[in-house]
Each structure stands twice: as structure tokens, then as C-alpha cells.
Structure 1
């Protein structure tokens, strides 16, 4: 059993804490927000092995692994990681849940040991979604990445290891590409917010939840597989790429998107939606785990 420091206990941090506790680790948590400890304990079922401290340095000093979940601001990250770098043992990995900042930028706050800084970006909610993107910075030691991947794997996660850093990592960049066209289709009046959600959730999204985009393309090619798809559908796909919309998130467009979501929900509360989503996710993950032929 080891001790994991959870620095920042908002939605992501609380979910991480629950996962660490569920896998037998002790958790020492910290968050400067008023009422943070009460909210965290309310969110977790088992808090016997949870300790909450006021200072991030105290949490890091007690930890064998640090998972940071602070605001997505360089100045905040630098100040926070300076504290973590000073307090944590030299062998302790400092992993950030940052969804887009480069680890080399975050590591500027660690003058003592920048080689132990790595991105460990989860997908919300981390206690359910298996993906973790492990991203090294320019000074990150390879063995730190190895250890981070091994640790996340021991939690039942499915980590991917990026060979180099890029803004937004991998999954968020893929999402951003989809959002760009989705927003553009709404802006141009081609489809509503609800139509686009239906198109994904009841179309390719169902297949994407089982297999990724490349394997789905491979299966759609029949006996010829991906090679057949690329040979026969590659040219029209390139034409579609050239026709994809460029969009600016203006206040007017933001208002349209928000109104579209409100209309689509039709009074369904966020708590209801989260509970329904998580119930389906649990069943889906169990079904996938029972299929040994799925990669």
C-alpha cells in the first residue's frame, strides 16, 4: 500500500481520490477552497484512509505519488509545482491532470527535479473512464514515464504514452476536431445541437465506444480492410476535409449552443443525466472486459 497526494479536490481530484482509495492506497488530499474537505468527504463512500491537510507541501511530503489537479493556468501551476518540488522526496513522481498545458511548461516551476514531472491526463470521470494520457516533457526521465504508466495500469487504467508533448495531448485534439465541425454545422444552420448529438451518440459514437477510428475503418473495408477503405474512400474524404468549416466561438454562437443544449435536455437535470451516463458506462465497460478479442 502506498500514499497518493491529491492536490486539488474538485470534480477531477475527487474522482481520482475515489479511485486511489478503491485500489487500496492511502490518500492525503489538499485544496485551499473553503469547504473543500467537507465536499470531498461527501463525494466519497470510504474516507477511512483519507487525510485532508491545509498545505500542498505537507501533502507532497507524505506521498509516494502526487496527482495534481489545479487550475489550468501557467502561473498557478508554476507556484504550485515549486511547492511540490521542494517538499516531495526526489523519487516521487509529480503528475499533472492538465488537459492541455505542456509538461515542459509546468516543469518550469520545478527547479530541483524537473525530470520527475509528467502529465497524467485522465478523462472525466477518472474513476470510470480508463484512459490516461501520459505525456513526458523535454526533461522528463524515461523511467518516470515507465513508472507512471505502470502505476496507472495497476489502477485498472488504459494509459497511452505519447512520444512527445503537444498542446491538448491526443484525445482532446481529436475531440477539438469534432467540436470544430459540430459548432460550424450549428452556426451555418445545417443541423441543430440535438441533431448533432443524436448523429454521434446513435451513430459512429456507438462503434467508437467499442473500437477506435482506425479499427472501425478497417472493419468497414470488408475483406480488403483499411487498405481498401483508403484506396476507395480516401479521395472523397479529402474533399470533405477541404469543405470542413472554420468557426470562431463568438458570443452569439455560444448563446446558440447553450440554448440548444437546454432545449435538448428538456428539463432533465444534470444529476439525472450523470447517473444515467455512469450506469451505461459501467455496463459498457463490463461488457468490453468480457470480450477477450477486443484490443
Structure 2
């Protein structure tokens, strides 16, 4: 497979083109500006520039609170009249057009044909695999080979996560370049080994959301109770310790192995409208091994202390700890 040779190292990127200036594209623009980049945006809507500048202005106080990079300024935002002018000098392109497959296909093909050779082009799609979006782009390193998914979470200027994955025609080095760039640009990066519709976090969110809809539709719970069940319960732990390690702690010092061996049969209980996977030895061992890698050198006591302190920190940060510590 040909190799995508970017003309600019991830650490040397200076100008970013944001194609699409809605909520996500505008959020990306605000993030990149706060990190000290020059940003050129383009959006075909007649009022796009005014909306974009309002969005960036609204985001700026929060960005100032968390800290701006040296040289960061809203004055470094330019809105170009055409797509070609927006990407002319770009070292990286972030596409954030509406979530319509045919639009994504044609726009990414146009970008691949217009952007300087080697410059990586990332899509903010929230669910489409890149394989499905790169079908109309030229089959070369300068075309489909440099198209990757860079999926953010709203608002992109505050939520750290970005999921990076290529398509069947994407060059591996384009994925590696994008992952490194996002890391340099201050994001928390997950580089996926394979495509999965919806990626990782959206699939997990969707499972929870779907079960919530079932509960409301069947009169089993109110919207208020569903939200409180997360914000006052597992959501406090998920802010700093994911569901796998959280469940591992439920197994006590025996960890994930004890939790699965003890509670595994309950996976067949009809608690949700989602079918449970078969808990065979391969899945069991993968969960145990993964939790052990995540825990690293931390003991069970270390993890419990980290979890407890994390819950306290989240409660304090959200104003729910009260005056008990005063």
C-alpha cells in the first residue's frame, strides 16, 4: 500500500482548516484556536461566519478558565469564501459537515482532490465508517489514503476524547499521523484497530439510551429518575474509572475473575432489552487480562482509594458534597 507522506510533522502544524462550522465544526475551531493554531473555516450557509464567531465567543470564557496556549487568540480565525481557499494553506483538515452519507462522500472526495498532497483529512462523523465515506475519493495516498475518522464529543473544546480510525483504503501512517496530531493538540486519543459503526463511546451511550427509552415507553421509570440514577450513581465513578475497572472492584480482591465467576450467570437475567453475549472462556479471560493491564502495578487497595477520592472530587466539583468537610 502506498504511504501518505505528510508535508508537516504533527508537532509543526500551524494552520488548520475547519470545513463545516456548525456546533461540532465550530467547537473544533474554538479548541484549535485555544491551542494556539491559526484556523481557516468554511461553511456554505449564508450566516455561517456570524454563527461561528458567536460560538467561539461563547466558548472562550470556559477555554480561558482551563488555560489558553501561548499565542492563542480569537483573532487567528479566518472565514474563507470558498472551500478551496479554506484548505489552500492547511496543514490539517477537520471536516464536520452534516451527518448525511452522500454529502460526506462527495465532500471528502472534493477535499481529497483539493487539499495539498499528504495533508491528512479527518471527518468528525459520529457513526459512519470511513470505508463507507471514502468510496468516491481517488484510490491513492493523495486521495482515499489520507482520509481518517477523528470523532470528537460535544463540545470538542471541553471533552477530551477523540476516536481515530481509518477505512479499508486509508493508509496506516495517516491514522498514526492523525492520532499523534490530536495528542499534540491536547486531546485524549483512542486509536481503534478496526472499524465499528458508531465507534466505541457512542455504542456504549446508545446501549444506555436505548434501555432508558424502553423504561420510559413501558412506564417503568420517569426521565427524572433515569437521569438521577446515573448522576447520583455510576456516573460519579465513570468520570474517572470506566465500567470495566469499576466492575472489577465489585469482585473485591479477586478482581474481574471473581466478579465474572460469581456474577456471570446473572448476565442471562432479563435485566435489559439487550441480548447478553455468551460468557465463554475467551471473553472471560479477555476481560480479566484487560482489567489487569488497566490496573497495572496498582493494588486493590490503591484502586479503592483512587475510586473513593475520585468520587469525593467529583461530588465536590459539582457542588454536591455539602458542608460536611468544613
2:62 is aligned to: none
For the 8 Å contact 1:153–1:159, the answer to whether it is kept is yes
Structure 1: tracts of 5 or more residues without a match: 247-282, 288-295
- More off after superposition, 132-141 vs 48-57: 48-57
With structure 2 as the length reference, what TM-score do the two structures score?
0.73
Q: Does residue 10 of structure 2 align to residue 17 of structure 1?
A: no
Whichever of the two has the greater Rg, that structure is 2
Please list the CA deviations of residues 90-149 of structure 1 after superposition, one character each: whole Å capped at 9, or x if unmatched: 211110000001101111131151010000000001111111010110011111111111
CA distance in 2, matches of 1:229, 1:245: 20
Matched, 1:99 2:126: yes
Q: Are positions 1:50 and 2:77 aligned together?
A: yes
Question: Equivalent residue for 1:197?
Answer: 227
Partner of 1:109, secondary structure, is: coil
Matched residue SS, 2:135? helix
What residue number does 1:207 align with? Answer: 237
Equivalent position SS for 1:195: helix
Using CA pairs below 8 Å that are at least 6 residues apart, which structure has the higher relative contact order?
2
Q: Which residues of 2 match residues 1-295 of structure 1 at below 5 A? A: 2-45=14-57, 46-111=73-138, 112=140, 113-240=143-270, 243-244=272-273
Query: How far 1:240 sits from its partner (Å)?
Result: 3.5
Provide the secondary structure at the position in 2 that maps to 1:51: strand
Deviates more, 1:44-53 or 1:170-179: 44-53
CA contact (8 A) 1:78 1:108 kept: yes
CA distance in 1, matches of 2:268, 2:83: 50
- What is the RMSD computed on CA atoms of the aligned residues? 1.7
Q: TM-score, normalised by structure 1?
A: 0.80
CA distance in structure 2 between the partners assigned to 1:66 and 1:20 by the alignment: 11
Cα deviation 1:186-225 (Å, max 9, x = unaligned): 1111101111011111111111111111111112211111
- d(CA) in 2 for partners of 1:83, 1:138: 19
CA deviation vs aligned residue, 1:63-114 (integer Å, no higher than 9, x gap): 1100000011111112211221111112111100000011011111311510
| Alpha-carbon distance in 2 for matches of 1:210, 1:4 | 31
Change (3 A) 1:87 1:245: closer
CA distance in structure 2 between the partners assigned to 1:109 and 1:164 by the alignment:
21
Give distance in 1, aligned partners of 2:121 and 2:209: 31
Could you tell me how far apart the structure 2 residues matched to 1:121 and 1:106 are?
Answer: 14
Between the aligned partners of 2:195 and 2:274, the Cα distance in structure 1 is 27
Deviation of the 1:245 alpha carbon: 6.3
Q: Displacement of 1:57 after TM fit?
A: 2.2
Long gaps (5+) in structure 2: 1-12, 58-72, 276-312, 318-326
Q: Give runs of ≥4 in structure 1 deviating > 6 Å.
A: none
